[in-house]
Chain A
Amino acid sequence: MAFIEIQSLFKRFKDVVAINRIEFEVNQGEMLTLLGPSGCGKTTTLRCIAGLEKPDEGDIVIDGKPMLSQGFVPPSKRGIGMVFQNYAVWPHMKVFNNIVYGLKLQKVPRQSIREKAQKVLELVGLEGLEDRYPAQLSGGQQQRVALARALVTNPKVLLLDEPLSNLDAKLREELRFEIKSLVRRMGITSVYVTHDQAEAMVISDRIAVMDSGNVVQIGTPENIYEKPANKFVADFIGTTNFIPGEIIRVAADTHTAVMRTEFNEELHCHTSDLTATVSGAKVNASIRPEDVEVFSQPPENPENLLKGTIAHKAYLGNFLYFFVNVDGTMIRVQVSHQLPQEEGEEIYLLLNPQKCMILF
């Protein structure tokens, strides 16, 4: 059931279109992530949901109530909690006062305020720190205060704007799981903004990938990684190789196509877009480094087999990473086993036809 509906939302800043009539829904109790590079409109979208930004057109419906079309509902009346990128923990107030600020405004009785604050402090693991000033806390602790402050009023919607981007890598990974389990336990509908694809994969039920003001794909993390809708998504989520070429044959019934690469080899690929995949079309085949198999000697079955020279070889502990030069096109390959070939030597690559995708 849709709890938040974004209806053809449009916002421009002077001459720049920040969000271009986007549509999506967030289900009750779901964690949806807006993922994209900086400037893609993800933060603007989140700020529109919060009411900190007024969109030029469109509507936002939260729990059945329109936020724009029947008069602008200010942030203070939307029943949301928000965690800001830079924490925004008020430095002149102690942790306790930071957390109960919203409760006081709601005129919650004093005793109840104490209880709720105590509970949320335990929840985020800040017991005993309520009398500290923010300056006496570490970055991670400040972020927990921000989270506690957003959760204590028991909001209908939780908005998180790159909440982990100012923390160091170790802490970031730790907090990802913590936020996920916390939000899931409380069952709050949340929208999470990040540019970090790994973070998005870990934390989200669903991801909405955004690019220059548009939502280009919505789906589960698996779905988006395995079946990217276009070149942008494939490139942005994870690492991939693009091999340019031209379509020479299409088999519509099996969703397969054969492409001739610029270095004159034939590649069998999967395609989801049959209208655009026609003979003669200039396209890119995308294959992820882990979907390429590596051989010292050419194997029996020669389909999708390429011969190349190792340009770079790197040992990364749990796997090997190769840059293989195939007639001037550089292909990245990741293998989990040792291989005797060194830089400058020849090698055979087998591109799995099931994982080789035609993208536009």
Chain B
Amino acid sequence: MSRGSISLAALLWLVIAFLVLYPLSILIIESFKIAATGGWGIGNYLEFFQDAYYLKTFLNTLYLSTLVLVTTTVFGIPLAYILARYRHLGKTIFTALILLPIVLPAFAGVFAFIIFFGKYGTVNLLLMDIGLTEQPINFIYGLHGLVFIQALHMLPFIVLGLSAGFTNIDPSFEEAAEVEGASGFRRFFTITLPLCTPSYLAGAVLVFLWPFTDWLTPLILGQVDFLPSVSYINISYHFTDVHRKYMGIVAVVVSSVVCISLFLLARWWVEKKKYTGLSKGTTSEGRVIEPSAWVKSGAYVYMIFIAILVLLIPIVLGLAAFSRRWVFEPFPTYWTLENFRLILLESPGLIKNSFLYSGIALVFGIAFGLPVAYLIVRTRVPGRDALDFVITLMLAFPGIAIGVSYLLAFWKGIPLAQYWIIMPIALFARRLPYFLRMAHSSYLQLDPSLEEASEVSGAGKVRTFFNISLPLLLKGVLVGVVMFFIMAFQEISTAVFLYKGGWETLPIGIYLNWHRGMEFGIAAAMAFLMIVITFILLLIISRIGGGVLKAAWGAGEN
């Protein structure tokens, strides 16, 4: 253990203390402030759990989480199984389509589905035109719509986890069951599915936590009695009523505690049940089945159904973006580029801000994430596991908690929030785990002897890092970089608390245009623009991941 890595660890801990521990402790302290007396106490918490309304929002959120998790699980299991096990055409394109919601901004889906499934949206108007219904059907407003939209957004997490599980479990586990006499469904439910629980759980916990984070979707659908929405309203709209503000903060803390506890519980359980290490000599492809023609057509229908739901988002937003006055008509009739002209002429700053803030956050992310990955994987510095732990916890923190705590922490004492740099810093803190995970796992795959050989040849640690490690890590790091950028680019739940006039990003612009002015043409054009930018970035990922680097390092993962 060198002195260099100790100072590096100290430096990184300082950053974490400043950007994570300090603001979060301020958040907790604020939640104990009593508005009426100006003193301290647990009064706010007592009120939260005794007040019928807050209690209801709390239970509502738990209920919503359960519904979303059940829905994604029921739809995700067959989807993951088809993707992982069946030999079929267009595997890559279907996988890409079904995973698309991960990279699309959550609110983009909400707007698209309101336009399409709303009371006077495309589907209802068509149904009434052909005379099937008299009154519009309420497809989307209410709990069912909320579950639908949130489930579609989170479905990829379940599918990703499960299909990895289905692919990675040793085929002989299932063959052994087959030989023992278990066929079909029996084998699936007694062997296959239980063995996949660890990888399922990793995704499931993120799905369950989403309703504790997403304040915007319920708000737009007219459902405000959920914790994040209540926090948002209390803090953003009632800041003059100090007591309501504190209650909002309490709601944020309660959400955070629930999220963190569930996250840790799932992590502990997964660690305990790690099955993968037990099998030896798995095939890379896993078990691939050639299903019968009937099953195969059923699988296609199912995949196409989900893919269409996902594709509705960019298509509907595209239609709205290139038209004006699209109301009470199933499809737009007046086509124009006006929306884009307005964005580019009147608010080019939004695009600039989005790129600038995400870009700076990204630079911070690399400058911080790579050394952390190095420390965790390659050194024995004390506290490196704690460092990893704290950063991983950020995955579970609701974005709203980071936004609110930054607002509280960096306003008076350390007046960072009065400068625009707070925006990229917040994006960096919120999305850090995404980059770190990626750098971490590519570091784990890098054989230490490659670096040792360089050191033996006379290169110092820093030189070895730039000459040997970095070029070899590049693939994983680059994919991590682009993912980080995409996630930062669509961030709203943190940014919405921190922006001031002139600091608006595209997601905030979308929200404001929709929410305040009902300018949904402009909002749709902005969302469409974001989707296009995200799509281009994804193309770059697949180019980097699949093209140039595949040639240099041989066929990597599929």
Contact = CB atoms under 8 A, between A and B. Distances in A.
Interface of A: 50-52, 74-78, 80-82, 84-86, 88-92, 101-102, 105-106, 134-135, 146, 149-150, 153, 166
B26 interface: no
B273 A92 contact: yes
B106 to A, nearest CB: 34
- Range of interface residues on chain B? 20 to 34
Contact of A74 (B176, B178, B280): B178
Contact of B172 (A51, A86, A91): A86
Nearest to A152: B180
Contacts of B179: 50-52, 75-76, 78, 80-82, 150
B360 interface: no
A80 B178 CA distance: 10
B112 interface: no
Interface stretch (B62-70, B181-189, B292-300, B468-476): B181-189
A191 to B, nearest CB: 13
A143 to B, nearest CB: 12
B275 A91 contact: yes
A153 B175 contact: no
B181 A86 contact: no
B172 to A, nearest CB: 4
Given A74-B183, A105-B181, A88 B195 contact: no
B413 interface: no
B544 interface: no
Of B175, B191, B273, B281, most buried by chain A (CB within 10 Å of CB) is: B175
Interface string B159-195: 0000000000010110111111111001000110011
Contact of B176 (A78, A84, A106, A153): A84
Given A85-B172, A90-B176, A105-B186, A135 B181 contact: no
Given A82-B176, A86-B281, 4 more contacts: A76-B178, A92-B194, A92-B273, A166-B280
B280 A75 contact: no
Contacts of A86: 170, 172, 279-281
Given A84-B172, A85-B172, A91-B278, A101 B195 contact: no
B272 to A, nearest CB: 10
Contact of A149 (B180, B183, B197, B275): B180
A76 B182 contact: yes
Nearest to A135: B278
A91 B281 CA distance: 16
A153 B177 CA distance: 13
A106 B181 CA distance: 8
B503 to A, nearest CB: 51
A86 B171 CA distance: 10
Nearest to B281: A86
A105 B182 CA distance: 7
Given A86-B280, A92-B273, A101 B173 contact: no
Given A85-B172, A134-B278, A135-B278, A91 B195 contact: yes
B180 A153 contact: yes
Contacts of A149: 176, 180
Contacts of A106: 181
A43 to B, nearest CB: 11
Contacts of A91: 195, 275, 278-279
Contacts of B280: 85-86, 166
Nearest to A142: B278
Contacts of B180: 76, 101-102, 105, 149, 153
A92 B175 contact: no
Given A76-B179, A82-B179, A90 B195 contact: yes
Contacts of B182: 76, 101, 105
Nearest to A105: B181
A86 B275 CA distance: 13
A329 to B, nearest CB: 40
13 contacts: A50-B175, A75-B175, A82-B179, A88-B170, A91-B275, A92-B197, A101-B182, A101-B190, A105-B180, A105-B181, A146-B176, A149-B176, A149-B180
Interface string B539-553: 000000000000000
A281 B412 CA distance: 100
Contacts of B181: 76-77, 102, 105-106, 153
Contacts of B273: 92
Nearest to A100: B180
Contacts of B281: 85-86
A84 B278 CA distance: 13
Nearest to A79: B181
Contacts of A153: 180-181
Given A76-B182, A102-B181, A84 B191 contact: no
A101 B172 contact: no
A1 B194 CA distance: 43
Contacts of B194: 92
A76 B195 contact: no
B174 to A, nearest CB: 9
A52 B175 CA distance: 7
A85 B176 CA distance: 11
Contact of B175 (A77, A78, A88, A89): A88
A90 B173 contact: yes
User: Which of B181, B194, B197 has the most C-beta atoms of chain A within 10 angstroms of its own C-beta?
Assistant: B181
Contacts of A105: 180-182, 186
A51 B180 CA distance: 12
Contacts of A146: 176
A81 B278 CA distance: 21
Nearest to B198: A92
Contacts of B178: 51-52, 74-76
Nearest to B194: A92
A267 B281 CA distance: 48
Nearest to A80: B179
Given A75-B178, A84-B175, A84-B176, A90 B183 contact: no
Given A52-B179, A75-B179, A102-B180, A90 B172 contact: no
A76 B182 CA distance: 6
Contacts of A84: 172, 175-176
Contacts of A90: 173, 176-177, 191, 195
A88 B173 contact: yes
Contacts of A102: 180-181
Nearest to B195: A92
B270 to A, nearest CB: 13
A92 B275 contact: yes
A138 to B, nearest CB: 12
Nearest to B178: A75
Interface string B186-217: 10001100110100000000000000000000
A76 B183 contact: yes
Interface in B254-301: 273, 275, 278-281
Contacts of A134: 278
Nearest to B176: A88
